[in-house]
Each structure stands twice: as C-alpha cells, then as structure tokens.
Amino acid sequence: MVNTVDSNKSKYTVRQYCNARKAHALQDVIGRPRHFEDRRHIQAESTSIRGKTTRHPTQHVNITRTKVPKEILQKYGEVTLAIDIMAINKIPFMITTSRHIHFRTADLIHMKAKGMMMTSIHQVVRAYHVRGFKICNTLAEAGFECIRNNLADLGISLNVAFRNEQVPEVERYIRTIKERVRAIASTLPFKKYPPRLIAEMVYNAVFWLNTFPHRDGVHATISPRTLIM
C-alpha cells in the first residue's frame, strides 16, 4: 500500500524517465512556470531549444535577424511603457514592461536617484527605437514625477497614478519576477545570497519571460525578445 520511487519508475521506460527528468530540469532553469504555459509553448512549437540546438560546434557565429512584421509596427508602433522600482533584499531594480508587446526589462540600480532612473530608461528607449518602435507614454507611480521634464525632452509623456494607486501591468510583472526568483533560489544550496547572485536570478527570470510569446501579446509565435532584441 506504499508507493516507492522504484515502483513508480518501473511503470515507465528508461527513455520516458530520462525525458521526465529533463523536463523538470528545464522547468527549474526557466523558473518553474505554470504547467499550462509549458504545454502552450511546446504545442505551439514556439520554443527553440530543440530546433535551434546544433549538434556540432561551428567555426564562426551565425547571425540571424528577424524583421518586425509591418502590421505589428503599424498597429503597435507607438508604445506605452509601465515603469516602477522593484526591491529584492533591499536591492533596487528599474523595471519596465510594455503594453501589448509585453517586452520586460530589469536593470540593477545602485540608488533611487533621477540620474540612475533616466540612464535605465534611455537604454530601454534605444532598444525599442532600433526596432522601429517609439515610446510615447509612460505609466508610473507618483514617485516618478521628478523625471517628467526629462521624459518630455525625449518626447515621452508621463501619466502618474493617483495617490495610493498602482500601475497594474508592472505590479503583476514584479510579482511574477519575485515568484520565479524564489523558485530559482529554492533549488540552490545556499542560505545567504550575495547581491550579484540575486541580480543574476532576476536577469534569468526576465530572460525566460521574454523568450516565450505572451498569451495576450501581438503575435502568437514571435516572442517579445525576438521583436525587440
């Protein structure tokens, strides 16, 4: 009446068991997304892990450039960006996410100063501009009022939420990052995490969030990372 690991393994072939182990390992790398998201990505064949993995090392780097479809630029070329500052273990990160496109960024900043925030925003603006997108509006909390004029110099308007209100897009994004960072941390054999390791866990979570198409995104198979990067 007791199920043991060996008895459960005996129900499957060695190949099936190995594939299950690989699937769990991949979930740990990505940050343990929900199962229905895994199936959606695999069924849509949007993940390039299998299709783009080379069997033999090459002597040179192959560069492929995917153009942004014209219909996406025509309909979503003017971008609304939600911004906020996220803190993990008191380490601040500049966080951005765009409506419709759902391209997310996280940038480690040393302090919540106007100059540091604008440096991060400049990098994001350039990334969108290179791909033909233009950031026209930003959504933020009242704490970003200090950069209104700086954004205006870039042709970007700032929409500030009312007191005690939050921007829902970026709040959901921050919650997702923290969930995935906790999932990654649970697989590591450490009790304390240096700031550099925390930053890399955040970057890893953001990388995988951008790698797969968003369920409410502008394209069913093109990921936000492919659109912008």
Asked whether residue 60 is domain-assigned, the answer is no
Asked whether residue 57 is domain-assigned, the answer is no
Number of domains in the chain: 2
Separation in Å, CA 172 to CA 28, 34, 79, 139 = 21, 15, 19, 14
Does the pLDDT at position 51 exceed 50?
no
Residues 33 and 101 in one domain: no
CATH number, domain of 123, equals 3.30.420.10
Which residue segment(s) compose the domain that 21 sits in? 5-43
Separation in Å, CA 164 to CA 88, 143, 167, 205 = 21, 11, 10, 28
Which helix (H) or strand (E) element contains residue 84?
strand 78-88
Does the pLDDT at position 41 exceed 90?
no
The rounded mean pLDDT for the chain is 85
Residues 141 and 223 in one domain: yes
What pLDDT was estimated at residue 139? Answer: 95
Does the pLDDT at position 35 exceed 80?
no
Task: Give percent of the chain above pLDDT 70.
Answer: 77
Asked whether residue 65 is domain-assigned, the answer is no
